[in-house]
Amino acid sequence: MKKALVLITFAIALSLLSLGSAQADPGPEGGNAQALTAYIESWTDLGVQDETETAPLPSADPGKKVYITFDDGPDPLWSPQVLAVLRKYNAHATFFMIGRNAASFPETIVQIASDGNTLANHSYNHYDLTTLDAASLSLEIGDTDYYIRSALRNNPELEGQVTRCLRPPYGQANDFVYSYAGSMGYSISMWNLDTRDWAGTDPHLVLSDFISQLQPDRVVLMHDGGENRQNTIEALDLILHELIMQGYDIQPFCTANGQAVIGY
């Protein structure tokens, strides 16, 4: 339909050009030819342009799941940029939050949850949990949960986005941490694909390494806080595009029902 309209428009434009050519000298700058170009471009600006057939995006394969996770937020600068990329690809993730950041930036937590992402625990101070006694470990986990939930107190419809998943800082956990977290109702949530975005790696190198490790049931580690995360934003865009082109189903790792069951 648009192609036909363009052809009709072009014919009208040629008629107008022919009529105008008998009345005006084109001049050294192109004259009527320039006018024709401008006329056609004005229609293009209105959205009347040739349509190029594009191949549909691959459908997600339910047997090819991958889980995107972010640590060290929430961050009022970087978390919203991560959200924008996730929205671009209609993807969702699990955000493992540091308690002191959750206490400082509750509005960012609301943004993350409102976009359909899930919220999880990354301790309050980002200490190595294996060095703590029971009382300190309880505070690290409990205070973080408190501030995440407090951020949503005016949005009760989002409370279901809070999960009982704990990611130990630095991936450090021992039998005591597993046992004590379990007594508090938490599952320990690790990863099996580290993008090394935290090292400031070039986004295209992140993508190359990601592709070399990609297979179903990968839990992908990225970061939305702590440092300059511009490389994370750019790498995330590349990674999500690759996942969609390969037909992966992108899911949050943790939900209110628990974490996904995978083989590490």
Residues carrying an active site annotation: 71, 223
User: Rounded CA gap, 51 and 155, in Å?
Assistant: 43
Alpha carbon of 194 to those of 114, 126, 197: distances in Å?
A: 26, 18, 8
State the pairing for strand pair 258-259/254-255.
antiparallel
* DSSP one-letter code for 25: -
CA dist list (Å): 19 to 13, 15, 138, 217, 260: 10, 6, 85, 67, 71
Q: Reduced to 3 DSSP states, what percent helix, strand and coil does the chain have, rounded to the nearest 5? A: 50, 15, 35
Candidates 114, 116, 105; CA nearest to 151 is 105
